[in-house]
Amino acid sequence: GSGEASAGPAEEVAAEIRAAGGAAFAHTGDVSDFRQAGELVESAVAEFGKLDILVNNAGILRDRMVFSMAEEEWDAVLRVHLKGHFNTTRFAAAHWRERSKRSGEPVFGRIVNTSSEAFLAGSAGQPNYAAAKGGIVGLTTSTALALGKYGVTANAICPRARTRMTEDVFAGVERGLGNGLDPLAPEHVAPLVGYLASPAAAHVNGQLLVVHGGMVAVVERPRVAAKFDSKQDTFTYDELEAVLGPYYADRPDGETFAAAEVLGLKRS
C-alpha cells in the first residue's frame, strides 16, 4: 500500500459504502462490553435519527476439545458471541419499544442474528462456540416473541462463509471452479440478510435458516419424538428402563439430538 496505517476492516467497509453513494460510519467499540454496545446503538440513532436494522455478526474462535479447554477460551467465546448478541439487542429493543410506545403504533425493526451449524450438527472441537451459537437461537426466539407487537422481527441464520474468523477453517477448501463464485463467498449470505431485514419479510419471525453456496434451508423446530407415562405417581428406575431401553435400542447408533445431516446440505 501507500505506507499509511490501515484504518481497520470496519472503516474500510464504511469507506466502501460511502464510495458507493451510501452514508456510513464505523464504531469500533467492543460489543461484549454492555456500555460500549449501548454507545454503538446510541451513535447510530444520533447519526441517522433512528435505528431500523441490527445485524449481529461479531465472533471469535478458540477451538479446543472440552477436556483440554481453558476457562479463558470458554469465557471469551461466550462473551463475544452470546453476550455480544444480547448487549446490542438489549439497547436496540429498548429504542424500538420506546419509539412504539411514543407513537402508539408499531415501528419498523429487524434483528438478524448469527448462529452456526456447529450448534445444529454438534462440533466436537468447539464446545464453547457450539454452546454460544445454541444460546443465540434461544435469545432469538425469545426476542421474536418479546418484540413482535412493536413491529420488530428477530431471526437467526447459520451461514457458511469465508471471513476473517474462518479463514483458517476453510483454508483448504476449493474456491470454486472456473469463473464461478466461491461456494464459501459471503456474497451467498448477504442477500438473505438483506431479505430478512426488508419490509417483505415482516411475517418471518423467530426462524432459523441455514445459508451458503446458493442455497437456503429452513430448519424445523424440535418436535417431541416419543412420550411415556408412569404407571404410578412417579417413574421407578425399572419402569424407565422398561420404556426407554427398547426405545433407544431401536435408534440408530451414534444418533444424538444434533442434526448432522445439515452438514451435507448443498445446492442441487
In whole angstroms, what is the distance from residue 246 CA to residue 242 CA?
7
Q: Which strand (E) or helix (H) includes residue 133?
A: helix 127-147
In whole angstroms, what is the distance from residue 237 CA to residue 191 CA?
52
Q: Is 129 a catalytic residue?
A: yes
Q: Is 150 a catalytic residue?
A: no
166, three cell numbers: 474462518
Q: Which is catalytic among the residues 32, 100, 115, 116?
A: 116
Q: Which is catalytic among the residues 32, 83, 100, 129?
A: 129
Instruction: Spell out a b/e string for 59-98, using b for 16 or more CB atoms within 10 Å of the CB, else e.
Output: bbbbbbeeeebeeebbebbbbbbbbbbbbbbebbbebbbe
28 and 57 in contact (C-beta within 8 Å)?
no
Q: Which is catalytic among the residues 32, 83, 133, 150?
A: 133
190 and 198 in contact (C-beta within 8 Å)?
no
Catalytic residue positions, numbered: 116, 129, 133
